[in-house]
Structures are given as C-alpha cells and as structure tokens.
C-alpha cells in the first residue's frame, strides 16, 4: 500500500472529457477493450471505465508506484481493469500475451507524470534540489547523473540538441565536462546553477527556465521515451479494429511530430500520383478526428497549469489492412490478417 496519498487527490487528467468523448464511440459494445498505454495514476482510465460500463481496460506503466496508485483508484472496477508493469514499447508483447489480436481504443498520455514531478526524490523537477535520477522505473537502467558523468561530449551535445532542442547545447556540455572532471554530478541544484551561468540572460528571459530543455533531454534519454513511443504508436494503429480509435496527448514538439506523421500517413492515400484509379490497398486506413492538434482551453490551464503545453490528436480506423500497411511514410509487414471483429476481453 502506497503512503503517498490517493491518486484522485493528486492527479488532474488533461483534457479528460474530450479524450473520453473521442474514444467513446469505439467502446459501446460489450467487452470492448480500451488500452491505456501510459496509465500513470489512472485518471483517464477511471473516466473511460465510468463512462462505458461494458468496456474493459488494459493499462500499462513502467512506474511501480504509479501502478500501485492506479490500482487503488481502479479497484472498484474489479476485473474490468487489468494493469501490467510494462513500457509502451512493450505494447505488442502485452497484447500477444493477453491474446488480443485487436483492440477498440488506445490512449497515449505522454511525458512525465504528476507523480514523478511531485516527488522530490525522483529528480524530475528542476525547481528543487534532488538526486539526479529521472528514471520512470527506478528499479532499472542508468540515471540522469550517469548520463551526465559518463557520456562522451559529442553524445551529450546530440542529446541536448535533439531531445531538448537546446540552442546552447555545446557551451552547456563544455561546462558539464569541465565540472564533472572536478566532481561528478549527483544532484539537480548543481546542474541548475551551471545552466543559469551558461544560458544567456536574454534567452532565460524569453525562453523560460534555463534548465527546462536540458532536464527534458536527460529525461527522454534516461527513459528511452521517443524510441519507445515511435515503436508503440504504429503497433497501436495496427491493432485497432475497424471503428477503433487512438488518441494521443503530447507535451512537446518531438512527441507531437511523431504523432502527426503516423496519423496523417494513415489518413492519406498511398497511391502513386500518376495512378489513374486508386486501388483499394492504397486507400487511407485512418480518419483524423481532430483538426490539427487540439489544446486545453483557458479555464483548464488555469485550473491545471501543467496542461498548458498539451496537444491532442486522434484518429479512427476505417478499413482492414492485410499484407503491408504504411506507417510514417514507410512500409511494414503486418503480423495478422485483420478481422472486422473487435478485440475481446482479456482472459
């Protein structure tokens, strides 16, 4: 039993009602399967299960503490909720283990959770001094301190520039290398002080906290977030039954870019431009449900400031695909021949 309070008191699901509304039409049949690929503290999952009494949940999260809190929150739903300790990149294996060739709805709520931000000992927040950990699963893998202290300078520059979109990656890394030779990094305050000294004052005034981008980059590297999501989203689309829906909440441009590429690729024809008649296999297999990326309104951002950067995209599966399907502009072999029968309840 966790001692850190109740999930419902600590977590406000972003765009909760809109997410439930977008996924709802896919969850109206008995035994419809809803997959929450990034369960967190279970706020969206609770809302979906409450709104759709015939649906069942498969919830994935890598964070043991989040799973414990979500389990308490979802306990009233009994065996309608199946929680699995796994990362989103494991989605295909999880569905195979549960014998679910197709599912009806999938949600990705990406990024760092309120639980992880709120606990000082996790090291995600740059406004408090804490161990430089940043692992979503604290039982495995290198920490942010390990990355800072052991990676080659060129690799650190790549991570900060690519994952943090940090314009000052090179001078930051130069300072990090100099400081780690003097003494290894262990806590966030020392890194924040370094960043305050390296990032120009003008950029700090216009671009927000000087540690924001570096902490984002380290977190993504430590947890393999983008690589995992790039693997998981095509699997989610592939496993949707006809009429099934996928929704994604992203919180920075890198996540949103991946989402846009995968969903728009499925929503447009793959026929060559000079083909006089579009063959059935070239027809779109997704229908976009949002016009671009939707954002929270002012009332929600005032109530929950952490929602301000959220971007929501969603799509519906419109046809079966067999043989090959196009994802992010490339071809991949599908694992199964899809049936129009939707996924069944986990056993």
- Pick out the residues of the known binding site for S-adenosyl-L-methionine: 42-44, 61, 109, 116
Q: Which residues pair with 311 in a beta bridge?
A: 250
Q: How far apart are CA 56 and CA 33, in angstroms?
A: 5
- Taking a C-beta distance cutoff of 8 angstroms, is the pair 347, 338 a contact? no
Long-range contacts of 269-272 (CB under 8 A, 24+ apart): 270/326
Q: Which two tokens stand for residue 185?
A: 């990094």
Q: How far apart are CA 57 and CA 43, in angstroms?
A: 13
Residue labelled with tokens 């991946």: 258
Query: How would you write 200-212 as a 3-class SS string?
Result: CHHHHHHHCCCCH
Q: How far apart are CA 308 and CA 208, in angstroms?
A: 14
What SS3 state is found at 135?
Answer: coil
Q: Which two tokens stand for residue 67?
A: 């799973």
Distances (CA, A) of 229 to 19, 87, 111, 211, 307: 19, 9, 10, 24, 20
Segment (H or E) for 58: strand 56-61
Closest CA relative to residue 108, chosen from 262, 5, 218: 262
CA atoms within 13 A on the CB side of 295: 10
What SS3 state is found at 27?
Answer: coil
Q: How far apart are CA 220 and CA 214, in angstroms?
A: 10
Q: Which two tokens stand for residue 16?
A: 């909760």
Q: Which two tokens stand for residue 119?
A: 């606990």
Task: Give the annotated binding-site residues.
Answer: 42-44, 61, 109, 116
Q: Sign of dihedral through CA atoms 34, 37, 39, 44?
A: negative
């Amino acid at each position: 039993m966790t001692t850190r309070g109740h999930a419902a008191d600590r977590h406000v699901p972003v765009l909760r009602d809109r997410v439930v509304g977008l996924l709802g039409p896919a969850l109206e049949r008995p035994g419809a399967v809803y997959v929450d690929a990034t369960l967190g503290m279970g706020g969206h999952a609770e809302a979906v299960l409450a709104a759709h009494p015939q649906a069942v949940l498969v919830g994935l999260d890598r964070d043991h503490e989040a799973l414990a809190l979500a389990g308490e929150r979802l306990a009233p739903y009994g065996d309608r909720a199946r929680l699995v300790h796994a990362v989103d990149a494991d989605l295909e294996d999880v569905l195979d283990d549960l014998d679910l060739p197709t599912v009806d709805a999938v949600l990705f709520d990406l990024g760092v959770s309120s639980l992880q931000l709120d606990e000082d000992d996790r090291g995600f927040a740059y406004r408090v001094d804490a161990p430089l950990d940043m692992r979503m699963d604290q039982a495995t893998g290198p920490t942010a301190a390990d990355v800072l202290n052991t990676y080659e300078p060129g690799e650190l520059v790549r991570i900060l520039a690519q994952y943090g979109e940090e314009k000052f990656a090179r001078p930051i890394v130069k300072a990090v290398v100099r400081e780690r030779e003097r003494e290894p990094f262990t806590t966030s305050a020392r890194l924040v002080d370094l960043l305050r000294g390296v990032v120009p004052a003008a950029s700090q005034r216009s671009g927000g906290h000087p540690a924001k981008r570096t902490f984002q980059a380290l977190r993504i590297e430590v947890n393999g977030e983008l690589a995992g999501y790039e693997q998981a989203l095509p699997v989610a689309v592939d496993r949707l039954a006809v009429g099934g829906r996928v929704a994604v909440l992203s919180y920075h441009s890198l996540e949103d870019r991946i989402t846009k590429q995968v969903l728009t690729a499925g929503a447009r024809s793959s026929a060559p431009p000079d083909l006089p008649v579009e063959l059935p296999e070239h027809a779109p297999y997704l229908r976009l449900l949002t016009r671009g990326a939707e954002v929270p309104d002012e009332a929600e951002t005032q109530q929950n400031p952490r929602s301000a950067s959220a971007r929501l995209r969603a799509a519906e599966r419109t046809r079966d695909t067999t043989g090959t399907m196009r994802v992010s502009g490339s071809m991949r072999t599908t694992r199964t021949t899809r049936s129009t029968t939707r996924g069944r309840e986990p056993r």
